[in-house]
């Protein structure tokens, strides 16, 4: 799915994402992650094989939510929820997280340290967008 320009701009500005995956028992697992764009895919780097990655390998359905600083005409804080399917690739985490640290931390933060493992990249292909704001509501 082609992401709307306002969603792309929000991600490029460094909005933190709440990633929801599904545990084996069907319960949600939620974590906050740094994200970037690779074309219309959303990508995130992870040094370890965390539960979220194990969940995606077993069941690729995911949701990402973002809260924006904008208020709707009735004063409600705007947000966007992206639904899609994820896949996990090995390697590339230090390079991606180094790039994202410039956005999420401070320039030249030195994160991550040079001795980090290659880790994993989570790639998310978005197939539905909802929320309150100027995004296309596909419900």
| Domain residue spans of the chain | 5-132
Taking a C-beta distance cutoff of 8 angstroms, is the pair 94, 119 a contact?
yes
Q: Give the CATH H-level superfamily of domain 5-132.
A: Electron Transport, Fmn-binding Protein; Chain A (2.30.110.10)
CA 52, distance to chain mean position in Å, is: 12
Q: What angle do CA 60, 66, 71 make, to 5 degrees?
A: 150
Q: Give the pLDDT confidence score for residue 63 in this predicted structure.
A: 98
CB within 8 Å of 31: residues ≥ 6 apart: 18, 19, 50, 52
Q: Give the pLDDT confidence score for residue 139 in this predicted structure.
A: 44
d(CA 21, CA 112): 25
Taking a C-beta distance cutoff of 8 angstroms, is the pair 42, 86 a contact?
no
Q: Give the pLDDT confidence score for residue 133 in this predicted structure.
A: 85
Q: Give the pLDDT confidence score for residue 102 in this predicted structure.
A: 87
Q: Once rounded to an integer, what is the mean pLDDT over residues 35-46?
A: 97
Q: Give the pLDDT confidence score for residue 24 in this predicted structure.
A: 98
Q: Give the pLDDT confidence score for residue 76 in this predicted structure.
A: 86
């Amino acid at each position: 799915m082609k992401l709307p320009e306002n969603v792309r701009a929000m991600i490029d500005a460094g909005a933190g994402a709440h990633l929801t995956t599904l545990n084996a028992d069907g319960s949600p697992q939620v974590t906050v992650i740094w994200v970037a764009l690779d074309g219309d895919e959303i990508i995130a780097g992870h040094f370890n094989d965390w539960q979220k990655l194990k969940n995606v390998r077993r069941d690729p359905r995911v949701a990402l939510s973002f809260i924006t600083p904008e208020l709707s005409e009735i004063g409600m804080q705007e947000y966007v929820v992206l639904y899609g399917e994820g896949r996990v690739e090995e390697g590339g985490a230090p390079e991606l997280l180094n790039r994202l640290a410039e956005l999420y931390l401070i320039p030249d933060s030195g994160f991550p340290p040079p001795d980090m493992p290659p880790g994993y990249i989570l790639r998310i292909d978005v197939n539905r967008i909802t929320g309150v704001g100027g995004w296309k509501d596909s419900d």
